[in-house]
Amino acid sequence: MTNSLLPIFILSSSRKILQVNEPAIQQFKLNLAYNGFLAMDEPSNMKWTRFVKHLKYIKEAEETFYIRTANNEYELVRFKCHYHVKNEEIVAHATILNHLDDTAYDLYFTQEDNRYPLFSTYDKIPHGIILTNANDMIFDLNKHAAMYLKREKSQVLDSAHKSIFDSFNLKDSELSYYFSKLTEEKFATIHVVDQSQSNRALYYEISSVFDCKKNLIVTTLLDETEKIELQQKVEHQQALNVVGQMAASIAHEIRNPLTSLKGFTDLLKIDATEDAQMYLSVIDSELQRMEQILSELLMLSKPANINVELLEFDKIVQNVIEFMMPDALMKNVMIQFISSPMTVLIEGNENRLKQVVLNLIKNAIESMYNGGTVKIEMCINRGSLLELSITDEGSGMTNETIENLFQPFYTTKTTGTGLGLPFVKKVIEEHNGEIVIESELKKGTRFSLHFPIYSFDPLDTLSPNEKDSNYLVT
């Protein structure tokens, strides 16, 4: 140390100067009578505390601090430090950096990346990392860990390792098993759920490894939300497929006796009395309702095999509006239709698209018990999509209702089957379209359908022989 030309300090964890060489005294103009401590400005004091905790576990690190000299001036100094475990001393090689002006000084201590070297790198890793020392105290974590725990970094530092789980609802038995695995096998994993958000549950995998050599627990938090949600969707789809197959079988079996019942009902009407005619009409009406439900079940369960043709969608909408107008007027509902000024074509099946528009307009009318206006608007969106929006002034829907709206058999109506909107969604997907729902309680709901506009290929106008020949477009 005495032969070194570089300034060298030997410091305690509290910055007490235990030993210093002559180059350090000369270059830093140190006043060693100043309580025997290395004086720093306040931001550097705070940073030193965090730096020392970090240094004790990685043994070597470097950082920059503002040091006060005997002239009451501050010098920006880069310390390359080694922690001597046996003596609990810090050996620091010091280098004075160029003086910074006030603006650079403020920037230096406020920029987010100004941290000790470990987490300036780990912050870029897309999952949480937490370091716990042998005293079971958390001494560092990266920004993803703080985000997953929904706490500020300062709130987590120096807290017990067990505090990692405060943000999650876990049974005591689950935590006991986790810590026993970590103690005995030096590795433990636990899966937790964050249900603090009302609209979505978040899933995390927390894994801890105990490094015996460094007396260090490294804990990782991995966000598994997308993976779990995908698994749930696959399982739900598999369940729906089974239900669909069962529904198709049951529908076919029921249709045979239903046909017989309708036939005998028609025969009974021939000689029935006036009172009997009334009862038979009710029976006939209910049979027709049963047949409609069976048809919807079959359309949902059987594979799509539709005939596609070029269609003017606005004409389909106009036909449906004309059909629904008498029912709307009976319920004191006005239908306002704003068509696109341009004539555009889409590829699709006319009958299935009519059924889609019919279902949506019918739902809009039924949502307004005291009358109102259904606004239907067609326009071209983003130049390549045809958008049809159907807006009502009904009671609106909650987020929970919107999430379940396309599930088979889910309905908010007392007499509904819950099959209309699943059919709508299926038909739209068959036509490579999408459906968007916007709703506000007590104000109404807006269904927006988007379909790709058909674009003509110049080759479509050629004969097969012309298509096969050498055809150049100049």
The residue ranges of DSSP E strands in 21-59, in sequence order, are none
Task: Please state the separation of Cα 341 from the chain's center in Å.
Answer: 38
Q: Say if residue 23's pLDDT is above 80.
A: yes
- Which run of H or of E encompasses 435? strand 434-440
Q: Say what the pLDDT of residue 221 is.
A: 92
CA atoms within 13 A on the CB side of 293: 17
DSSP 419: -
CA atoms within 13 A on the CB side of 425: 14
Q: Say what the pLDDT of residue 108 is.
A: 43
Task: Please state the separation of Cα 44 from the chain's center in Å.
Answer: 39
**pLDDT one-digit tens code per residue, 206-219:** 999 998 877 788 99
Cβ pair 205, 224 in contact under 8 A = yes
Question: Do 454 and 317 share a structural domain?
Answer: yes
Question: Do 447 and 313 share a structural domain?
Answer: yes
Range of lowest pLDDT (101-110, 146-155, 186-195, 311-320): 101-110
Q: Say what the pLDDT of residue 233 is.
A: 77
CA atoms within 13 A on the CB side of 213: 2
Question: Do 445 and 354 share a structural domain?
Answer: yes
Confidence tier at 373 by pLDDT (50, 70, 90) = very high
- The tokens of 424 are what? 């709508």
Chosen domain end from 223, 246, 266: 223
Q: Say what the pLDDT of residue 456 is.
A: 62
Angle at 41 between CA 39 and CA 44, to 5 degrees: 95
Taking the C-alpha atoms of residue 286 and residue 164, their distance in angstroms, rounded to an integer, is 60
Taking the C-alpha atoms of residue 187 and residue 184, their distance in angstroms, rounded to an integer, is 8
What CATH number should be reported for the domain holding residue 155?
Answer: 3.30.450.20
Q: Say what the pLDDT of residue 334 is.
A: 93
Largest separation between any pair of C-alpha atoms in the chain: 126
Q: Say if residue 104's pLDDT is above 50.
A: no
Taking the C-alpha atoms of residue 251 and residue 426, their distance in angstroms, rounded to an integer, is 19
Question: Do 154 and 272 share a structural domain?
Answer: no
Taking the C-alpha atoms of residue 13 and residue 84, their distance in angstroms, rounded to an integer, is 11
Tokens 């997308």 found at:
226
Question: Do 396 and 326 share a structural domain?
Answer: yes
3-class SS of residue 407: coil
Q: Say if residue 409's pLDDT is above 50.
A: yes
Q: Say if residue 177's pLDDT is above 70.
A: yes
Per-chain mean pLDDT for the chain: 79
Q: For 175, phi and psi rounded to 5 degrees? A: -70, -40
404 or 338: which leads in pLDDT: 338
- Domain for residue 473, yes or no? no
- The tokens of 195 are what? 């249900």
Range of lowest pLDDT (158-172, 230-244, 305-319): 230-244
Q: State the pairing for strand pair 128-132/216-223.
A: antiparallel
Question: Do 134 and 259 share a structural domain?
Answer: no
Q: Say what the pLDDT of residue 30 is.
A: 66
Q: Say what the pLDDT of residue 470 is.
A: 41
- Mean pLDDT of all residues in 80-95: 86
Question: Do 315 and 274 share a structural domain?
Answer: no
**pLDDT one-digit tens code per residue, 129-147:** 898 887 788 888 888 888 8
Question: Do 315 and 414 share a structural domain?
Answer: yes
- Domain for residue 151, yes or no? yes
Tally the domains of the chain. 4
Taking the C-alpha atoms of residue 283 and residue 286, their distance in angstroms, rounded to an integer, is 5
Q: State the pairing for strand pair 128-132/89-96.
A: unpaired
Q: Say what the pLDDT of residue 469 is.
A: 43
pTM above 0.85, yes or no: no
- Mean pLDDT of all residues in 411-417: 68
- Percentage of the chain exceeding pLDDT 70: 81
Question: Do 107 and 154 share a structural domain?
Answer: no
Q: For 470, phi and psi rounded to 5 degrees? A: -75, 105
Taking the C-alpha atoms of residue 264 and residue 202, their distance in angstroms, rounded to an integer, is 58
Chosen domain end from 116, 136, 152: 116
Question: Do 396 and 255 share a structural domain?
Answer: no
| Amino acid (one-letter) located at 27 | Q
- Domain for residue 160, yes or no? yes
Separation in Å, CA 381 to CA 108, 326, 345, 377: 48, 31, 14, 12
What CATH number should be reported for the domain holding residue 259?
Answer: 1.10.287.130
Q: Say if residue 463's pLDDT is above 90.
A: no
Q: Say if residue 75's pLDDT is above 70.
A: yes
3-class SS of residue 133: coil
Q: Say what the pLDDT of residue 32 is.
A: 53
- Domain for residue 248, yes or no? yes
55 or 178: which leads in pLDDT: 178
Is the torsion defined by CA of 315, 316, 322, 325 positive or negative? negative
Looking at the DSSP bridge assignments, the partners of residue 75 are 67
Taking the C-alpha atoms of residue 157 and residue 51, their distance in angstroms, rounded to an integer, is 13
- Mean pLDDT of all residues in 168-181: 88
Chosen domain end from 281, 301, 321: 301
Q: Say if residue 461's pLDDT is above 60.
A: no
- Mean pLDDT of all residues in 113-138: 68
Neighbouring C-beta atoms of residue 142, cutoff 10 Å: 23
Q: Say what the pLDDT of residue 400 is.
A: 84
DSSP 5: S
251 or 439: which leads in pLDDT: 439
Q: Say if residue 247's pLDDT is above 80.
A: no
- Domain for residue 330, yes or no? yes
Taking the C-alpha atoms of residue 366 and residue 393, their distance in angstroms, rounded to an integer, is 11
Range of lowest pLDDT (393-397, 409-413, 436-440): 409-413
- Mean pLDDT of all residues in 151-177: 86
Q: Say if residue 99's pLDDT is above 50.
A: no
- The tokens of 314 are what? 């606005």
249 or 425: which leads in pLDDT: 425
- Domain for residue 463, yes or no? no
Confidence tier at 288 by pLDDT (50, 70, 90) = confident
* Residues spanned by the domain of 177: 123-223
Confidence tier at 101 by pLDDT (50, 70, 90) = very low
Q: What is the 3-state secondary structure (H, E, C) of 348-403?
A: ECHHHHHHHHHHHHHHHHHCCCCCEEEEEEEEEECCCEEEEEEECCCCCCCHHHHH
- Domain for residue 466, yes or no? no
Q: Say what the pLDDT of residue 317 is.
A: 92
419 or 384: which leads in pLDDT: 384
Q: Say if residue 117's pLDDT is above 90.
A: no
Cβ pair 32, 17 in contact under 8 A = yes
Question: Do 144 and 14 share a structural domain?
Answer: no
247 or 31: which leads in pLDDT: 247
Taking the C-alpha atoms of residue 470 and residue 292, their distance in angstroms, rounded to an integer, is 54
What CATH number should be reported for the domain holding residue 327?
Answer: 3.30.565.10
Confidence tier at 109 by pLDDT (50, 70, 90) = very low
Question: Do 152 and 104 share a structural domain?
Answer: no
| Burial annotation 18-55 (CB, 10 A radius, 16+ → b, else e) | eebbebbeebbebeeeeeeebbbeebbeebbebbbbbb
